[in-house]
A and B are shown apart, each in its own frame.
Chain A
Amino acid sequence: MSSMNRREFLQILAAASAAGFALDARWVWAAGKGESLYELKKFGNVHLLHFTDCHAQLLPIHFREPSVNIGIGGASGKAPHLVGEHLLKAFGIKPGGIEAHAFTYLNFEKAAKTYGKVGGFAHLATLVKRLRAERPGALLLDGGDTWQGSATALWSKGQDMVDACKLLGVDMMSAHWEFTLGDKRVQEIVEKDLKGRIEFLAQNIKTSDFGDKVFEPYSLREMNGVKVAVIGQAFPYTPIANPRWMMPEWTFGIQDENMQKTVDEARAKGAQVVVLLSHNGMDVDLKMATRVTGIDAIMGGHTHDGVPRPVIVKNAGGQTLVTNAGSNGKFLGVLDFDVKNGKVSDFRYKLLPVFSNLLPADAEMAAYIEKVRAPHKAKLEEKLAVSEGLLYRRGNFNGSWDQLILDAIMEVQGADIGFSPGFRWGTTILPGQAITFEHLMDQTAITYPSATLTEMNGEQIKSILEDVGDNLFNPDPYYQQGGDMVRVGGLQYTCDPNAKIGNRIQDMRLAGKPLDAARKYKVAGWAPVAEGAQGEPVWDVVARYLRDKKTITPRKLNQPKLLGMKGNAGLAG
């Protein structure tokens, strides 16, 4: 093996494993000592492990990173708005290897077959245990979007994930989609299940009448003789992006001023390290780091950006590291601080991809997962159709999974135009793979799943596209919501992301003809945020379509023509 280093050797082993060779994962693990992906030397005296936006994916899955993730204005050309080769170049990652596969969409189909699936709580548990063994006192932080995203999480009202997180040893969490289980359910879990085990933190949630706190804003712990504060920040725009009627008595928002007060209070109580566990989204975190001082690191989520290294933001109080740890259980962030003389003197950070072929399953977690799935196994594993093409969701404008959903809801409901929400969660299916009911639920499992058919005139359609476009491309991150553009079926348009609201969406055409502002069109959609919306769950509509088709041909993506985006590092090629 003289001409081959250990990492390359491991990659070959992974390939062999994917090709069906019997491979003892424990042996790979042992062989990895030295230069393995997971050999991470302990540094300093304060240790934080962070995962976020796992979207209830208990089992290993495939997840393709985006090829379109545009940054506008000051965000252009910088992390997290880097895709493919741009990302590799910025972070000095060698093309073609296992890390290039983890962080980019490049050569996805082939690499996914070579390196296998990612994530899975049993594999994550092994990694967490190993890192914890080396890092006494380490805290495990969960950024939220944990209790939503799978069939079993929906059917158990989040319970399967709550118990999995307790087993995994999560210490603290913040939240977003959790609230779509309803405020009462969230409070029930926090009071009954999490009490004494997992701290649910959110400085930015108050009662909407008197501004009283609803959850603890932060936690102060001692780790290896160092006082560490962790502040929680829930997704600021939950009542806007999701149905407000599900949490009617709470108000959210970014709340910079209260954040500063919370940091100052924690410092006054002796915190030598202050970490923000954030569900702001990375662009909002980057702006917040310029405005709020005294935070050593913002460990972020929401925008699902797998960012290999922290962005260091200088501010009036020194500097703040900003990280984002991807989604779907694919990554675990490891942040080590060296605290000397009462303050942070240095740090190390690594965003570890969780490759399930390289990490043996933790037996206890694997047994737990099997147990929660057992009653639903037949339903979950129903094969609805076989996909000939790659099905993925993530990307600013469309994904092949969304195109499939659009094709289904438009055909089944006889619509001219289809809208599908710009969610960033949802797993990936490789060509030739069967689409099971579980896979369909990975894309659609929400508590307001109604499929809808609405008459809208051309003017209304434009105003919706403009509105959502501004939530994505407003140059001020505090006016963004962190979702992607609404996916559009049937309707072609041109988008100028640099333009202002009202002018971004141009040249809308249906079958080549300009959209008529006054004419009514039938628009199919799903996930209505209004209270009392009626309609069959979208998964039933799409399941019928899939069972009927049996074979799903590669999808033709309906994407807008883009203006002014030439050379943007958030675009492939």
Chain B
Amino acid sequence: MNTTRRTVLKGATASGVLAGLIAAGALRPTLVLAADWNKAAFEAKDTAGALKGIGATAASESKDLMLKVPDIAENGAVVPVDVVSNIPNTSSISILVEKNPQPLCAQFDFANGAVADVSARLKMGQTSLVKAVAKADGKFYTAQKEVKVTVGGCGG
């Protein structure tokens, strides 16, 4: 464990250095830019509606879009999700949890040349498919995997 790095980063977060990086344009979370807020997509109550909202009704499965999620969530309140897109010119990545009341959880837009590699912690109330959608050159690509949320106990 790198305790020093952990301490430094805790300090960095507190003093707003990371926020500075975001403002500098290296990463543009949609939430930071109120103008980009896709209300219809984020407030959609089902996956079809959310996909429609981001314009991804005809997404094709891609092996170059890597979605890393646990098979079983250790804690449904904070499920770690990593998405990496190796599709050239990826301009956005969206993450959806099908069975959440509002499936679209996050959308990341990338400025030219940014590496499409994002991580998030999502809240999941029940077992569900988790879906990543990437946009590149106007086309949509998708990858999905089931994450089980269980009450726990009884093992071993």
Closest A residue to B69 by CB, please name it. A253
Pick the residue among A208, A425, A467, A527 that contacts B151 (CB under 8 A): A467
Interface string of A253-266 (1 = CB under 8 A from B): 11001000000000
Query: Does B153 reach chain A (CB closer than 8 Å)?
Result: yes
Name the residue of chain B whose CB is nearest to the CB of A252: B74
B152 touches A529 (CB 8 A): yes
Given contacts A207-B1, A210-B2, A210-B6, contact A478 B153 (CB under 8 A): no
Size range of the interface on B? 20 to 34
| Interface bits A232-248 vs B (CB < 8 Å: 1, else 0) | 00010101111010000
Chain A residues near B (Cβ < 8 Å) = 145, 176-177, 207-210, 212-214, 235, 237, 239-242, 244, 251-254, 257, 302, 421-425, 463-464, 467-468, 470-471, 474, 478-479, 481-483, 486, 501, 527-529
Q: Is B14 an interface residue (CB 8 A)?
A: no
CB distance from A529 to the nearest CB of B (A): 4
Q: Is residue B89 within 8 Å, beta carbon to beta carbon, of the partner chain? A: no
Nearest CB to that of A471 among chain B residues? B150
A421 touches B74 (CB 8 A): no
In the complex, are the beta carbons of B155 and A242 less than 8 A apart? Answer: yes
Q: Is there contact, CB below 8 Å, between B74 and A212?
A: no
Selected contact of A209 from candidates B6, B127, B154, CB within 8 Å: B6
* Residues of chain B lying within 8 A (CB to CB) of residue A470: 148, 150
A254 to B71, CA, bound (A): 8
Cα of A453 to Cα of B73 in the assembled complex, Å? 27
Number of A-B contacts (CB under 8 A): 90
B75 touches A244 (CB 8 A): yes
Chain A residues lying within 8 Å of B29, measured Cβ to Cβ, are none
- Please tell me if the beta carbons of A424 and B5 are within 8 angstroms of each other in the complex: no
Q: Please, which residue of chain B has its CB at the minimum distance from the CB of A529? A: B153
Residues of chain B lying within 8 A (CB to CB) of residue A501: 127
Assess whether B156 is interfacial by the CB under 8 Å rule. yes
Q: Does B136 contact A (CB under 8 A)?
A: no
Chain A minimum-CB-distance residue to B146: A479
A254 to B, closest residue via Cβ = B71
- In the bound complex, CA of A235 to CA of B127 (Å): 21
Interface of B, helix, strand, loop or mixed by DSSP? loop
Q: Please, how many angstroms separate the alpha-carbon atoms of A207 and B6 in the complex?
A: 11
- CA of A92 to CA of B116, assembled, Å: 56
Checking B73, B127, B153 against A241 with a beta-carbon cut-off of 8 angstroms, the contacting residue is B153
- Near A by CB (< 8 A), chain B positions 110-156 give 127, 146, 148, 150-156
Measured CA separation A471–B148 after assembly (Å)? 10
- The reply to whether A240 and B156 form a contact with Cβ atoms under 8 Å apart is no
Provide 22 A-B residue pairs closer than 8 Å at the C-beta atoms, listed in order of the A residue: A176-B156, A208-B80, A210-B2, A210-B5, A214-B1, A237-B72, A237-B74, A240-B72, A240-B155, A241-B152, A242-B153, A244-B74, A424-B156, A467-B150, A467-B151, A468-B154, A470-B150, A481-B72, A501-B127, A527-B154, A528-B153, A529-B153
Point out the residue from B9, B75, B153 that lies within 8 Å of A421, measured CB to CB. Answer: B153
| The one of B73, B148, B155 that contacts A483, using a Cβ cutoff of 8 Å | B155
A239 & B71 in contact (Cβ 8 Å cutoff): no
Chain B neighbourhood of A235, CB < 8 A: 155-156
List residues of chain B with CB within 8 A of the CB of A486: 154
Q: Closest chain A residue to B10 by CB distance?
A: A209
| Smallest Cβ-Cβ distance to B1: which chain A residue | A212
Cα–Cα, bound, A479→B148 (Å): 7
B53 at the interface (CB under 8 A from A): no
Q: A421-B154, A529-B153 are in contact. Are A253 and B74 (CB under 8 A)?
A: yes
Beyond A479-B148, A529-B152, 11 additional pairs, beta carbon < 8 A: A208-B80, A239-B74, A240-B152, A241-B155, A244-B75, A253-B70, A253-B71, A421-B153, A422-B154, A471-B150, A483-B154
- Max chain B CB contacts within 10 Å: which of A145, A235, A240, A251? A240
